[in-house]
Structures are given as C-alpha cells and as structure tokens.
C-alpha cells in the first residue's frame, strides 16, 4: 500500500519538479555561462539542496518500486513473505542509494558548489 502510494507520488513529483529542473538546467546551459551561474547558485542554496536531495530520493524510490513492479508484472513475488520483504526492502535500498550518492558528492566534491 505505502509502496504503491510512494511509487505514484515520487513518479508524478519528479514529472513536475524534476522535469522543471531538467528544463532549467539544459536551458541555462544553452543560454550561456551567466544563465548557468544563476542555476548553479540556486542549486547550491539550502532550498536547492533540498530539491536535489529530494529528487535523488524520489528517483531511487521510484526506481526500486518500479523494479519491484516488473517482478510482480511477470507474476512472481506474490507469496506473502516475499511480497512483504520487498515492500520493505525497496524503499530502504532507495534511502541507502540516496545517502551513498550524496556522501560521495559531499565528501569528494564538497557538495554542488
């Protein structure tokens, strides 16, 4: 139940927020260094980090529940124990992947700046 709601919320959330960021990022790159500076400055602000970490989490959560859906779509994984285990593991693996990516970004690169 929760995994299903999360799948839709993260998917439609990324469709609205994530694609807006993608449009801005590519548009800024195409418009030149000054436009890109503005984009980079906003993304390195606290709100920018919140959006980028949120999108990373939304992506991995959607990816994991999507992979789970693929397994269920072929008719596997409906045994109660298996189904329950992956419904818990999927969102947890997504959090681990999100933390891993941002740990790498912050420790190695010192963040987005």
Partner 1 sequence: MGDGTSIGRVRGLGSSHHGAHHWLTHRFTAIANLVLMSWFIISLLLLGDYSYASVIGWISQPLSSVAMMLLCANLFWHAQMGLQVLIEDYVHDPGMKFGVLTVLNLAAVGGGAFCIFSVATLAFGA
Contact residues for partner 1, defined by CB under 8 A: 8, 11-12, 14-16, 19, 22-23, 26-27, 29-30, 33, 36-37, 40, 59, 63, 66-67, 70, 73, 101, 104-105, 108-109, 112
Least Å distance, CB 105 to partner 1, is: 8
Q: Which is nearer to partner 1, 93 or 101 (CB)?
A: 101
Q: How far apart are CA 79 and CA 12, in angstroms?
A: 29
Least Å distance, CB 14 to partner 1, is: 7
Q: Which of 74, 58, 75, 43 is nearest to 11 (CA)?
A: 58
Q: Which is nearer to partner 1, 69 or 87 (CB)?
A: 69
Q: Which is nearer to partner 1, 81 or 108 (CB)?
A: 108
Q: Does residue 12 contact residue 81 with C-beta atoms inside 8 Å?
A: no
**Segment (H or E) for 74:** none
Q: For residues 79, 85, 86 and 91, what is the CA-based torsion angle, rounded to 10 degrees? A: 150
């Amino acid at each position: 139940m929760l995994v299903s709601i999360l799948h839709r919320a993260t998917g439609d959330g990324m469709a609205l927020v994530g694609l807006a960021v993608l449009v801005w990022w590519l548009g800024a790159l195409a418009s030149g260094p000054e436009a890109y500076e503005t984009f980079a400055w906003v993304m390195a602000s606290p709100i920018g980090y919140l959006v980028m970490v949120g999108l990373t989490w939304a992506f991995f959560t959607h990816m994991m529940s999507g992979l789970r859906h693929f397994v269920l779509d072929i008719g596997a994984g409906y045994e109660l124990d298996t189904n329950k285990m992956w419904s818990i593991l999927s969102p947890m693996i997504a959090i681990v992947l999100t933390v891993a990516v941002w740990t790498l970004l912050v420790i190695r690169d010192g963040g987005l700046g």
